[in-house]
Each structure stands twice: as structure tokens, then as C-alpha cells.
Amino acid sequence: MPDDAFPADLTELSLAELHVLHSRVGRQLDREYLGDAAGAHPVTLERHQELTVELDAREIAHPERTV
């Protein structure tokens, strides 16, 4: 997954697209942690953090839209 395309600007994604991407990256993190004693790939960790920050920002800005 670190080699997969990743949006340069997460703000351009719909909330649904953002949730789908967050889910995919989360599953990738699980696979990496389970499959490699060294842990997750740094790119995957960074992407997960970026997605979490964007989701949190949207929840703060529009709490009624995050359900």
C-alpha cells in the first residue's frame, strides 16, 4: 500500500470517500503489524495520521455531518 496512489489533498474527498480510505489504510496497518516484526511501514503510519487529522477536523467543523 505505501506504493499505492494517495490523494495529495484530503479536503477534496467527500466524507464517505474519506471514511473508505481511512478503513483501507487501517486494514493495511493491521496487515503490516501482523506480518512484520518491525511494525508498520512509515508511509502507512503517516497516511493514517493524515486521515485521522482530516476526520477530526471535519468533526470539529461540522459535528452534525460525521454520523
pLDDT at 1 over 80: no
User: Exposure of 6 by Cβ count < 10 A (0-12 exposed, 13-18 middle, 19+ buried)?
Assistant: middle
Q: Which cell goes with 63?
A: 459535528
Cα 59 to Cα 44, 65, 66, distances in angstroms: 23, 7, 6
Give the residue extent of every domain in the chain.
Answer: 15-65
- Checking if the pLDDT of 11 tops 60, the result is yes
Tell me the residue type at 31.
R
Residue 24 pLDDT greater than 70, yes or no: yes
Q: What is the percent of the chain where pLDDT is above 90?
A: 79
This prediction has a pTM of 0.85
How does DSSP assign 26-42, residue by residue? HHHHHHHHHH-TT-S-H
